[in-house]
Structure 1
């Protein structure tokens, strides 16, 4: 169904905009297409926003990722750049549960091409707590995977000017020192999970999933013109119920669209019927 995209990427070097170790999972994924990933030197991704909020993110998640990519393009003169951005908050379908949305962009100046890999996952330890002593802090840490997952400690959830923020806490001793320092002026303090990739193995796994999605987009060439990024742009519900035949919310087909020639293709799913549990009539 897809044309080969080997001529677009084989043997090329991509510069990755990161300072938090994302190359650990992104580089092996792109190596499968013959792309060598090199980390941008002296690149400060924090200027585009920090999870600890002392530097607000510039624009939307996609705008922030694109701004990182544009900065590396300007800094290095490269023609192939990768940048990513994570976003954490309530899951759109299950708002009581936290979620991690990871976006990775590939900007190819040689071909005037932007491709993306994106994953929305419930696999996250994203959380926070207000604590007043070490025992409470350790109890919170136990719930979120500390010490293999880092913590951040600050006086309150909204960062205060001239007040320290302790990041990358990965030992009880570091945690105790942070609490002692902050409690010289504050009775309670704010603890939260450190969501930077190198401090959060759970997040790194989701970034790896997004990298796999990006590689799939890179590898899928348009059947008509061969342009990379021939991926599903829409999933169409309506697979008929196995019991009564009525359309359900289950996906019946996916619509693919070429960014270049605008060729469209609708591909039905392998299944011909949906389980009655997904039927609005059989399982109202």
Structure 2
């Protein structure tokens, strides 16, 4: 169904806007399409926002990722650039649970294309706590995968002027020193998971999933014009209930659309019926 996109990407080099090791999972994914990923030199992604909030993110998640990619394009003669941005917070369907939404953008200046890979995952250790001693800090760390997953320590949740922020804490000794320093400002301190990719193996695996989603879109050429990025833009609910036949909330078809020629194609899902648990009548 999809046209080949090999001529678009084979043998090209993409610059990756990162300083946190994301090439570990993004480069192998794009290598499957013949793309070599190289980290952009002297690129400071922190100027577009930090998870520890001393530098606010510039705009939305998508706007921040786009700003990173455009900055690399402006500084180099590259014609293929990749940037990513993570966002953490309550899951939109299960608000009591934390989630990780990873977005990867690919800007192709040669073909005037913007492609994206995206994943929303419940697989995250995103958390925070207020602690007053090392014992409480280590108890929090045990819950979030410390020391293989880094921690951030600061005086309070919102950064204070002229107050240190300790990032990348990965040992009990580092944690103890951070606590001792911060308790000169306050008896309690704020601890949170360090969500930077090189400090968070769980997040790195979700980035890998987003990279796989990007590569899938890159490989799917429009059946009409051949342009990459022929992916599902809309999912249509209404798969009939296996028990009573009524329409359910389950997806019955996906609508694909080309961003270049706007050709559309609606494809049904392989399943012919939905589990009754998704039926408004059988499971009200």
How far does residue 52 in structure 1 lie from its aligned partner after superposition? 0.1
Matches within 5 A, 1:1-284: 1-284=1-284
Cα separation, 1, equivalents of 2:40 and 2:144: 31
How far does residue 51 in structure 1 lie from its aligned partner after superposition? 0.1
3-state SS in 2 of match to 1:68? helix
Cα separation, 1, equivalents of 2:99 and 2:218: 26
Q: TM-score normalised to the size of structure 1?
A: 0.99
Q: TM-score normalised to the size of structure 2?
A: 0.99
Cα separation, 1, equivalents of 2:150 and 2:219: 35
Cα separation, 1, equivalents of 2:3 and 2:79: 23
How far does residue 244 in structure 1 lie from its aligned partner after superposition? 1.2
Gaps of 5+ in 2: none
How far does residue 242 in structure 1 lie from its aligned partner after superposition? 1.5
3-state SS in 2 of match to 1:140? helix
3-state SS in 1 of match to 2:177? helix
Equivalent pairs counted in the alignment come to 284
3-state SS in 2 of match to 1:8? helix
How far does residue 270 in structure 1 lie from its aligned partner after superposition? 1.0
- 1:54-112 CA distance string (max 9 Å, x none): 00000000000000000001111200000000000010111111000000000000000
How far does residue 278 in structure 1 lie from its aligned partner after superposition? 1.4
Gaps of 5+ in 1: none
Cα separation, 1, equivalents of 2:207 and 2:105: 12
Query: Larger deviation: 238-247 or 23-32?
Result: 238-247
Cα separation, 1, equivalents of 2:83 and 2:96: 30
How far does residue 184 in structure 1 lie from its aligned partner after superposition? 1.3
3-state SS in 2 of match to 1:114? strand
How far does residue 196 in structure 1 lie from its aligned partner after superposition? 0.1
How far does residue 186 in structure 1 lie from its aligned partner after superposition? 1.0
3-state SS in 1 of match to 2:192? strand
- 1:189-214 CA distance string (max 9 Å, x none): 00000000000000000000000000
Could you list the structure 1 runs, at least 4 aligned residues long, displaced by more than 6 angstroms after superposition.
none
Cα RMSD after superposing both structures: 0.5
Cα separation, 2, equivalents of 1:136 and 1:219: 49
